[in-house]
Amino acid sequence: MAVIVDVAIQGAQMLLVLLLSPLLTGFVRKIKARLVRRQGPPLLQPYRDLIRLMRKDVVLAQSASWLFRVVPYLVFATTWVALSLVPTFRTGLLFSWSADLIAIIALLGSARFFLALAGLDVGTSFGGIGSSREVMIASLAEPAMLMIVFMLALIAGSTQLSTMSAFMNSSEVGLRVSLGLGLIALIMVAIAENARIPVDNPATHLELTMVHEAMILEYSGRHLALIELSASLKLLLYVSLIACLFAPWGMGTTEAGPQALAIGALTYIGKLAVGGFLLAMFETAIAKMRVFRVPEFLGAALMLALLATLLRFVSRSF
C-alpha cells in the first residue's frame, strides 16, 4: 500500500512539474510585461505555443543528421528526470535516492552537452556561436555550482537533496553568513544556467546577442516545442532547487497525510510565484551584459561560494 502511495506521489510530482513549468514561464513573461506597463501575453500563452508547435511539421535542414532529431528527446528526458528528483512539495520521494545533487547537476550537464552538439550539427555559423558560448558559460557556472554544493554539504552533511531539504527545514539551521553567500551565488548560477538577463536574453531576436536561442535556431515544430518545454522545466528546476534548499517551509515529509501534502503543494506554488516575481523584477531592472563580461559575473559567484565554504571551515557557527 505504502509503495503505491509513494509511486503515486512520485508520479504526481512528475506530472505536476511538467504541467506547471510553462505556467511559470508565462507568469514571468506576464510580470515582466506588466512592469514595463505593457499588457503582455496571457498567462496560458506558453501552453498554446507548445501545442501549436507540436502540431506543425518539422522542417529539417538538409545537412542535419540523426543526432539532430534525437537531441530534443534526450534533452527533454534528462531535464525532466533531473527535475523529478528535486523535492517540490514533499521530501523523500520514492526515487529521490537514485541521484544526489551532484548527479542532478551532471544530468543538466548532459542535456547541455547534447544541445551544444545539436547547435553544431547543421553546420551554420549561428549554431556554432551559440554552442561555443554556451559551453564557455557552463565551464564557469559548473565550478561555482559545485562549490555551492560543497558548502551546503558541509552544513547538511549530505548531498542527497531530500536529506538536505529536511535538514534545512529543521531548527538546527539558523541564519548563517555562509548560507546567505551561497544563496546569492546560487541565484547567479541559476540566472546564467537559464539564459536569463543579464547573461543571455530569452526574448532577443538580435542574432549576435543570442546564446541559447542561437544554438536552437534550426529547430522547428515538435522538436522546438520539446526544447522550449525543457527550457521551462530547467527554470522550474532551479526555482524549486532554491526553494527546497533555502525556503523549505511547508514542505511535506515522508509521513505527511493528504492535508500536509495539500499545504506542501500550495506553499510550493506560492514559492514559485514569489520566485517568478523576483526574477521578473530583476530582469526588468538590469541590462544585458556583453558576453565577455559573463566570466566576471560567474567568477563573482564562484568567489562567493568559495568564501562561504572557507567561512564554514573557519567556524562552524558562520
Q: Scanning residues 213 to 252, which ones bind another protein (CB under 8 A)?
A: 217-218, 220-222, 225-226
**DSSP letter, residue 258:** H
Q: Given candidates 19, 286, 313, 317, which one binds another protein under the rule CB under 8 A?
A: 313
Q: How far is the CB of 277 from another protein (least distance, A)?
A: 30
Count of beta carbons in the 10 Å neighbourhood of residue 287:
8
| CB-nearer residue toward another protein: 235 or 294 | 294
| CB-nearer residue toward another protein: 21 or 163 | 163
Query: Of the candidates 282, 69, 103, which has an alpha carbon nearest to the alpha carbon of residue 188?
Result: 282
**Length of the chain, please?**
318
Report d(CA 83, CA 17) in Å as an integer. 8
125 binds another protein (CB under 8 A): yes
Report d(CA 312, CA 14) in Å as an integer. 35
| CB-nearer residue toward another protein: 39 or 125 | 125
Report d(CA 19, CA 91) in Å as an integer. 20
Q: How many residues bind another protein (CB under 8 A)?
A: 87
How far does Cα 2 stand from its chain's mean position?
Answer: 31
269 binds another protein (CB under 8 A): no
| CB-nearer residue toward another protein: 45 or 124 | 124
| CB-nearer residue toward another protein: 277 or 318 | 318
Report d(CA 166, CA 181) in Å as an integer. 20
- Locate 211 and state its grid cell: 546564446
Q: At what angle do helices 66-84 and 101-121 cross, to 10 degrees?
A: 160
Cis bond before residue 198 (omega within 30° of 0): yes
User: What kind and span of H or E run contains 275?
Assistant: helix 258-285
Q: Given candidates 90, 133, 234, 271, which one binds another protein under the rule CB under 8 A?
A: 133
Report d(CA 136, CA 298) in Å as an integer. 11
Q: Given candidates 33, 135, 263, 273, which one binds another protein under the rule CB under 8 A?
A: 135
Beta bridge partners of 90: 252
Q: Given candidates 45, 132, 169, 284, which one binds another protein under the rule CB under 8 A?
A: 132
Beta bridge partners of 252: 90
| CB-nearer residue toward another protein: 70 or 266 | 70
Q: Given candidates 21, 49, 100, 186, which one binds another protein under the rule CB under 8 A?
A: 100
Q: Given candidates 20, 86, 138, 216, which one binds another protein under the rule CB under 8 A?
A: 138
In this structure, the dihedral spanned by the alpha carbons of residues 297, 178, 86 and 28, taken in order and rounded to 10 degrees, is -50
| CB-nearer residue toward another protein: 131 or 267 | 131
295 binds another protein (CB under 8 A): yes
202 binds another protein (CB under 8 A): no
31 binds another protein (CB under 8 A): no
Q: How far is the CB of 303 from another protein (least distance, A)?
A: 10
38 binds another protein (CB under 8 A): no
| CB-nearer residue toward another protein: 139 or 317 | 139
In the block, cell 537533496 appears at 161
282 binds another protein (CB under 8 A): no
Q: How far is the CB of 282 from another protein (least distance, A)?
A: 24
Kindly write out the interface string for residues 73-92 of this chain, putting x where it contacts another protein by CB under 8 A and - elsewhere: xx-xxx-xx--x--------
